Amino acid sequence: MKLFLVLFLSTLLLVSCTSKKEPQGDVVVSVLDSNIPHLDPIHSMNKISSTINGSIFEGLYHYHYLKRPITIEPALASAMPEVSKDGKKYTIQIKKGILFQDDDAFADGKGREVTAKDFIYSWKRLADPKNKALGWWMFDGLIVGLNEWRDQMRNGEATYESEVKGLKALDSHTLEIQLTRESFQFIHFLATPPTMVMAKEVVDKYGKDIVNHPVGTGPFVLEKWVRNSEVVLTKNPTYREVYYPSEGSEVAKKKGFLKSEGRRLPLSDKIIVRIITERQPLWLAFLKGELDHGIIPKDNYDQVFKNNKLKKDVADKGINIHYLPRPDVTFIAFNMEHPVLGKNKNLRKAFAAGLDKEAILATFYNHRGLVAQSPIPPGLKGYDPNYKHPISYDLEAAKKYLAEAGYPEGKDLPVFDYEMSSTSTWSRQYGELLKDLWSQVGINIKLNANTWPQFDKKIKTKKATMFDMAWNADYPDAENFMQLFYSKNISPGSNNFNYVNRTYDELYEKALTLQPGPERYKIFRKMVDIINEDVPGIFVVHRIFRLTYHDWLENYYEYPIIYDHLQYYFVDKEKKAKLIKKL
């Protein structure tokens, strides 16, 4: 017995003294706060998957890392596209000598050169109904003949060899794309992960397991992926010559991000992406120096900030803050098909006037954000900082609207079901605040907690009466927010308000055909006026995230729509050796 005890205790001691292995070489330890379902770019429609896919794969275009507002520029394309006068035909030259990453799928295990046909193949994969690609919506109805090919594939009448009229390889490195209509968004779609290039050999070799075997042309190759734990990316030895940018925004210049100008990318040999879904360990791991950047949990703000400024003792440890204005809007949506809410504009106005957005901003976002006046967030062209929503928080006005709606002091007004998107404490507290605010007007709501699948089902099947949600830009254009109210997008599409307005639709369709410019923004403004008058929802906040990073992490300039950011990071090892002692 004694022998057993001694053995057990010594083992415990030995094991417990095993400290975490310090990464060797030029290694960045990054973090994601959500799990990655798979690594097939055609499904990559969130920041989590796209962060990894954007490091392994490349598209024809990408966003400049340091310019703000963000600017599109060629990636695998050799220049911006030549667009025909009618705006429907795109001719794109592809850079020569771009190699796929080495993989057993290729002859001798060496990646071959990318050609125009690889893009056509990749986009057919995106359209192939068997793949159920989450990114298909981008090309849906946009490329001549692609929808027809999709239908034929569904019926077994076409193959990948079948021609798509709107997709042509003029030669090995020239693509010609014929659109069904003029589209300002198309170029942005070519900068998103679902349109990134893949090799047929790789897809054929791995079959359905392609979701676990990403092989692209990007700066990193996948070395290891332990689900729910970590992803390890190592430098792609055959990555083309790409250099750190020499231009950037004023913030980028001020923060010294141009110091790496001219260095060959990627700047690190290895990126370890830890997946930590719980806030406490993520935060503690950051404070301990195990992560190079992190996220501050809502309840730890006081530990970092005083009067909304970084505390001195925190700053002295070399902890820094990156202010990230997100191109998003949080909103409370009304189901316009609801027999009472949907038909009574004054009732919806009463809800809007009874909502204290400043209180929400203070309580739930620690003042991190701007009160929203319209769906268009700051940072996108079309956003007007001087625009004010015609209805602001005013209890008396809310009561007046309610009386005009036919329910003076809330008399005979039914109780409305309010769907919360999760069962978390945050959601419940948020719901309770709304309930309290609207009860002061005379409106009563019943809070329903949901799991995400339940919530999603209620919304997409139009069963929800009202609910809260957020919309993040998928591409940097105000149109991405305007389409939320287009009648052809009603549930199960993105118009979860189920809002239908013919004038709005006509303006939207007109705006779709226009290039960015005053005329287009004027139309957006008219559309905003229409929805702010009809109140299919209440726009609450445009969030500003405050992300933390250690001073030793160089070039940390995160932005939601930029997916190839990891190649710009590197760790200043001397700085780290000094600063880590202070943690």
Partner 1 sequence: MTFLIFNVVGGDPALQLAGKYATPEQVESIRHELGLDQSLFHQYLDFVKQTATLDWGRSWQTQSKISDMILSGIGPSLSLTVPAFLISFFISIMVALFSVSARGALLVWDRAISIFCLALMSISFLVYIISFQYLFAFHFRWFPLNGWDDSLMGRWGYLVLPWMISVVVSLGPNILIFRTAFLDEVIQDYVRTAQAKGVSRMILFGRHILKNAMVPVITIVVLQIPFLITGNLLLEAFFGIPGLGGLLIQAIQNADFPVVKAFTVVGSILYLFFNLVADLLYLVFDPRVELR
- The residue among 285 and 371 lying less far from partner 1, judged by its C-beta, is 285
Amino acid at 263: R
- The residue among 398 and 459 lying less far from partner 1, judged by its C-beta, is 459
378, β-bridge pairs:
none
CA distance 93 to 176: 9
Q: Length of the chain in residues, anyone? A: 583
First-residue to last-residue Cα distance in the chain: 42
Mind giving me the DSSP string for 518-579?
A: HHHHHHHHHHHHHHHHH-SEEEEEEEEEEEEEETTEET----TT---GGGG-EE-HHHHHHH
Q: Which residues of 244-280 are buried (b: 16+ CB within 10 A; e: fewer)?
A: bbeebbeebeebebbebeeeebbbbbbbbbbbbeebe
Does 110 interact with partner 1 (rule: CB under 8 A)? no
For residue 69, cis peptide bond before it (omega within 30 degrees of 0)? yes
- The residue among 492 and 517 lying less far from partner 1, judged by its C-beta, is 492
CA distance 230 to 225: 6
**Cβ neighbours, 10 Å, residue 318:** 19
Residue 68: CB minimum distance to partner 1, A: 26
CA distance 523 to 455: 33
Among 12, 79, 362, 395, binds partner 1 (CB under 8 A): 12
Among 96, 110, 117, 154, binds partner 1 (CB under 8 A): 154
Residues 16-35, one symbol each (x = binds partner 1 by CB under 8 A, - = not), give xxxxxx-------------x
Residue 149: CB minimum distance to partner 1, A: 15
Residue 335: CB minimum distance to partner 1, A: 16
- The residue among 91 and 422 lying less far from partner 1, judged by its C-beta, is 422
Residue 223: CB minimum distance to partner 1, A: 12
Q: Is there a contact between 431 and 420 (Cβ–Cβ < 8 Å)?
A: yes
Does 63 interact with partner 1 (rule: CB under 8 A)? no
Does 103 interact with partner 1 (rule: CB under 8 A)? no
Q: Total residues contacting partner 1 (rule CB under 8 A)? A: 57
Residue 424: CB minimum distance to partner 1, A: 12
CA distance 115 to 106: 15
CA distance 129 to 152: 10
**Cβ neighbours, 10 Å, residue 154:** 12
**Cβ neighbours, 10 Å, residue 284:** 16
Q: Which residues of 122-139 are buried (b: 16+ CB within 10 A; e: fewer)?
A: bbbbbbbeebebbbbbbb
Does 463 interact with partner 1 (rule: CB under 8 A)? no
CA distance 55 to 96: 20
For residue 266, cis peptide bond before it (omega within 30 degrees of 0)? yes
Residue 152: CB minimum distance to partner 1, A: 14
- Widest pairwise Cα distance in the chain: 88
Binding part of the chain for partner 1, among 11-19, 82-90, 306-314, 432-440 by CB under 8 A, reads 11-19
Residue 131: CB minimum distance to partner 1, A: 9
- The residue among 274 and 565 lying less far from partner 1, judged by its C-beta, is 274
Angle at 153 between CA 179 and CA 188, to 5 degrees: 30
CA distance 168 to 175: 6
Residue 207: CB minimum distance to partner 1, A: 11
CA distance 354 to 394: 6
Residues 208-247, one symbol each (x = binds partner 1 by CB under 8 A, - = not), give xx-xx-----------x-xxxxx-----------------
Residues within window 262-321 making contact with partner 1, judged by CB under 8 A: 274-278, 280-282, 284-285, 287-288, 290
Residues within window 184-213 making contact with partner 1, judged by CB under 8 A: 208-209, 211-212
Token pair, residue 336, equals 């316009």
Residue 428: CB minimum distance to partner 1, A: 17
Residues within window 117-146 making contact with partner 1, judged by CB under 8 A: 129-130, 132, 134, 136-137, 140
Among 9, 25, 37, 387, binds partner 1 (CB under 8 A): 37
Residue 143: CB minimum distance to partner 1, A: 16
Among 165, 432, 452, 506, binds partner 1 (CB under 8 A): 452
Does 582 interact with partner 1 (rule: CB under 8 A)? no
Residues within window 402-431 making contact with partner 1, judged by CB under 8 A: none
Strands 445-449 and 416-420: parallel
Residue 137: CB minimum distance to partner 1, A: 3
- The residue among 230 and 394 lying less far from partner 1, judged by its C-beta, is 230
Does 159 interact with partner 1 (rule: CB under 8 A)? no
Contacts of 567 (CB under 8 A, 6+ apart): 55, 218, 219, 220, 242, 265, 266, 267, 268
Residue 340: CB minimum distance to partner 1, A: 25
Rounded to the nearest 10 degrees, how much is the dihedral formed by the CA atoms of 27, 30, 36, 38?
-30
Does 99 interact with partner 1 (rule: CB under 8 A)? no
Residue 225: CB minimum distance to partner 1, A: 10
Residues within window 482-501 making contact with partner 1, judged by CB under 8 A: 489, 492-494
- The residue among 125 and 349 lying less far from partner 1, judged by its C-beta, is 125
Residue found by looking up tokens 């190592």 in the block: 234
Does 45 interact with partner 1 (rule: CB under 8 A)? yes
- The residue among 94 and 127 lying less far from partner 1, judged by its C-beta, is 127
- The residue among 173 and 458 lying less far from partner 1, judged by its C-beta, is 458
What's the alpha-carbon Rg for the chain, to the nearest Å?
26
Q: Is there a contact between 170 and 176 (Cβ–Cβ < 8 Å)?
A: yes
- The residue among 224 and 388 lying less far from partner 1, judged by its C-beta, is 224
- The residue among 36 and 527 lying less far from partner 1, judged by its C-beta, is 36
For residue 492, cis peptide bond before it (omega within 30 degrees of 0)? yes
Return residues touching partner 1 (CB under 8 A).
8, 12, 15-21, 35, 37-38, 40, 45, 129-130, 132, 134, 136-137, 140, 154, 208-209, 211-212, 224, 226-230, 274-278, 280-282, 284-285, 287-288, 290, 451-454, 456-457, 460-461, 489, 492-494
